Structure 1
Amino acid sequence: MEITEIETLLADKLLFVRVHTDEGIVGVGESGTWAYLETSAAAVETFAEYLVGKDPRRIEHHWQYMYRRFHFRGAALMGALSAIDLALWDIKGKYHGVPAYELLGGSCRGKARVYATVKGDTTEKLLDRCTAAADAGFTAVGHLSPFLDESRDEPYFESHVEMIRTASDRVRQFRETVGDDVDLCIEIHRRLDPHEAVTLAREIEQYHPMFYEDPVRPDNIDAMAKVARKTELPIATGERLHTIHEFEMLLDRDAADYVRPDICMVGGLSQAKKIAGIAEANYVGVVPHNPLGPISTAACLQLAACIPNFAIQEFPYRPERDAAPGEDLVVDPPTHRDGFIEIPDEPGLGVELDIDEVADRPFEGREFKTRLHEDGSVIDQ
């Protein structure tokens, strides 16, 4: 069997990759490069120069060849490599007639717990959407920011005490709204410096979030470790990391209780399984990052099936829409029930693109804009 063509498909705010073979088996993957998808698509075309004519079943060899051929790394390249890797696992599963997880050690579970994505630019919207998620059967809500999801056009300023007290009070309201039957996955979006993150963490410990996600920027792993040492809250991080080596350094410093590999960014299933193994050796849970499309969700389910330390999975279902983005771009998208998604037993990744729908969906991309402080400097949101 040989690869005959590698196709990139930009639709909505997503990048899909299809790998074609001479036996008619087609694999599909997705890139997690988020706002740089056109760049990632160009990287896929570069990798295609090597892959066309090769046997798609030699996944690890191809991964190493593409990663190590040139001397530079980065998110756009890793998103491209991840999409290709997922497509190759899809092909291999279809070739053998089994789900990808069967080729990665078999299943540890039959369904994966998921949390709904809750966003809002007011406290009231967040509370209403927490309630809606619970009513829809979710036992956890995430992407839940105590700083709101305000417009990036609006300059930001709060005094220190106002920032801490307002954010802490929102977490109190989240907990009171959903009670103890729903876990809170508190998302800080790298918004704070370490001393601020520690102060807020101590304020909200009493509300027992399941985890405290990305309190500081990930560039300095020691800064994340500093926060972890000074709070009792479980730290979750890793969505911006690209390699197994970065995750090893993160865990070597006891900087996380949950790792958040993005399967469409860290090198696909090949590397996500290795990251899960590093985490397992450190008694750390895995919470796959999944703000993307339905191929990402399907790939995360394959990972959830075959690792023992899976904890919960991000699911981009939005309560106010009663839908996840891009779910109409696939045939039979993954669906939730009572806070879980059943692990599919179809061959490969278990989901197929609806090519007609993808062709009819224009690519939108993301606006190049970040938020500024009242004084004109850049802040993270």
Structure 2
Amino acid sequence: MPGERKIASVVALHIGQFMFCRIETDDCIVGYGEAGIWGHIKTAGTAIERFAEYLIGKDASAIEHHWNTMHRFSYFQGMAINAAISAIDIALWDIKARALGVPIYELLGGACRTKARVYCHIYERTIDKVLEECKVKMDAGFTAFGHINPFLDEGHDQVYFKTHIKKMRDAISNVEKMRGVVGENVDLLIELHRRLTPAEAVTFSNGIAHTHPLFVEDPIRPENPDAMARVADRLAVPIATGERFGTIYEFQALLARNAVEYVRVDLALCGGITGAKKVAAIAEAHQVQVVPHNPLSPIGLSACLHLAASIPNFAIQEYSTGFEAGVFTSISKHLGSDIVDYVPPVHDGFVNIPSGPGLGVKLLDNASELRPPLVQPMEMRPHKDGFIVDQ
């Protein structure tokens, strides 16, 4: 149609441990998005290149139309495909808002809030190091700590075994020590990373109820919504889950079963801004809060913040201070800060919602030089019996 802004190029950019999508229009407006399937990052890049065959020459403003076409084409979906769709979707929203000279949230109904509360990451292998890092992060102005793992981020090189009682009591004791250090000044978002069985999840989570964590995240593997509902029904603390979901239907299955109180929608995996808005609406109807997932770069963070600005049921935002090069180590700055032109700073536990056009952040021109492509090695921690350990 006359006056349409056409998509001229769609490029996958593998920069460090990140996979970005760069879309440029025929009038030279550039948008960026990010794919969240960090464990299989190259596959997302391949899917972005595949979708480029469809997108080039199309109207850049028809975001919902493209979202549905990419999801419905050939009936095949999956994490790599949905991560690619997510990156493309975010980039298209970036373009549309930049063309209009407004932040993305203005196109999503306007701002519900001007700031978002954030939580940092704490990655350490010993409880003493965790407690030291708690003090560091408190001094840095954070009022909530996530990826704080009572089972610790021990290396894959260490064979694992503990008796049930020691496994439970050690982890419960670690949470009590965390609470002792931070007092009532910090909320604890307890990360379990799907490492427990349903029975273990019930024992552990009820054992820490007196410390009043904001939630326990991914207490069991997330594939079975009935199992998660069974666990949720027996817990004295709320469950947060969803970071590994690639479709809105997986969230609907959890919410219909009363299996979650905080949905961890990943904008770089579950359909971008378009998909996340749909998840947030379903969650709002169930009076469930949204905690966007982002262990990625500030591009992903900015997309999450525009969602946070535009929905009433936002709770808190992940602010990634760790996982550099895929290693569980705490850092002081947001992951990937060196490859973008802006990262919202933290003040008293909050960041300002980006107010510039589009995402409000762009990749640096030399980002590829700063971070050569990196692929996470495929490995899992061994159990003493010869099997593997989820962590």
Q: TM-score, normalised by structure 1?
A: 0.99
Correspondence for 2:325: none
* 8 Å CA contact retained: 1:236, 1:260: yes
Correspondence for 1:339: 349
* 8 Å CA contact retained: 2:15, 2:367: no
Q: Which amino acid aligns with 1:277?
A: A
Q: Whole-Å Cα distance in 2 between the matches of residues 320 and 212 of structure 1?
A: 20
Corresponding residue SS for 1:172: helix
Corresponding residue SS for 2:22: strand
Report how far residue 96 of structure 1 moved.
1.1
Correspondence for 1:19: 23
Correspondence for 1:228: 232
Q: Does 1:278 align with 2:268?
A: no
* 8 Å CA contact retained: 1:25, 1:95: yes
Report how far residue 320 of structure 1 moved.
4.7
Correspondence for 1:296: 300
For structure 1, the residue ranges without an aligned partner over 5 or more in a row are none
Correspondence for 2:326: none
Q: Whole-Å Cα distance in 1 between the matches of residues 201 and 103 of structure 2?
A: 41
Q: Whole-Å Cα distance in 1 between the matches of residues 21 and 55 of structure 2?
A: 13
Matches within 5 A, 1:105-120: 105-120=109-124
Report how far residue 339 of structure 1 moved.
0.8
Corresponding residue SS for 1:331: coil
Corresponding residue SS for 2:38: coil
* 8 Å CA contact retained: 1:344, 1:350: yes
Q: Which amino acid aligns with 1:132?
A: V
Out of 14, 23, 36, which is 2:40 matched to? Answer: 36
Q: Does 1:355 align with 2:365?
A: yes
Q: Does 1:366 align with 2:376?
A: yes
* 8 Å CA contact retained: 1:297, 1:334: no
Q: Whole-Å Cα distance in 2 between the matches of residues 33 and 334 of structure 1?
A: 24
Out of 152, 158, 164, which is 1:148 matched to? Answer: 152
- 1:213-258 CA-to-partner distances (Å, cap 9, x unmatched) read 0000001111111111001201000001111111011000000010
* 8 Å CA contact retained: 1:327, 1:333: yes
Q: Whole-Å Cα distance in 2 between the matches of residues 316 and 186 of structure 1?
A: 15
Q: Which amino acid aligns with 1:363?
A: P
Q: Whole-Å Cα distance in 2 between the matches of residues 87 and 104 of structure 1?
A: 15
Out of 187, 190, 194, which is 1:190 matched to? Answer: 194
* 8 Å CA contact retained: 1:115, 1:142: yes
* 8 Å CA contact retained: 1:294, 1:330: yes
Task: State percent identity of aligned pairs.
Answer: 51
Q: Does 1:377 align with 2:387?
A: yes
Q: Whole-Å Cα distance in 2 between the matches of residues 140 and 247 of structure 1?
A: 25
Matches within 5 A, 1:1-381: 1-318=5-322, 320-381=330-391
Q: Which amino acid aligns with 2:380?
A: T
Which stretch of structure 1 is more off in the superposition, 266-275 or 67-76? 67-76
Report how far residue 144 of structure 1 moved.
0.7
Q: Whole-Å Cα distance in 2 between the matches of residues 292 and 93 of structure 1?
A: 22
Q: Whole-Å Cα distance in 1 between the matches of residues 246 and 218 of structure 2?
A: 15
Q: Whole-Å Cα distance in 2 between the matches of residues 46 and 359 of structure 1?
A: 25
For structure 2, the residue ranges without an aligned partner over 5 or more in a row are 323-328
Residue-pair matches, total: 381
* 8 Å CA contact retained: 2:339, 2:370: no
- Over aligned residues, Cα RMSD in angstroms? 1.0
- After TM superposition, what 4+ stretches of structure 1 lie above 4 angstroms from structure 2? none
Q: TM-score, normalised by structure 2?
A: 0.96
Report how far residue 143 of structure 1 moved.
0.2
Q: Which amino acid aligns with 2:123?
A: K
Corresponding residue SS for 1:185: strand
* 8 Å CA contact retained: 1:132, 1:320: no
Q: Which amino acid aligns with 1:310?
A: F
Corresponding residue SS for 1:106: coil
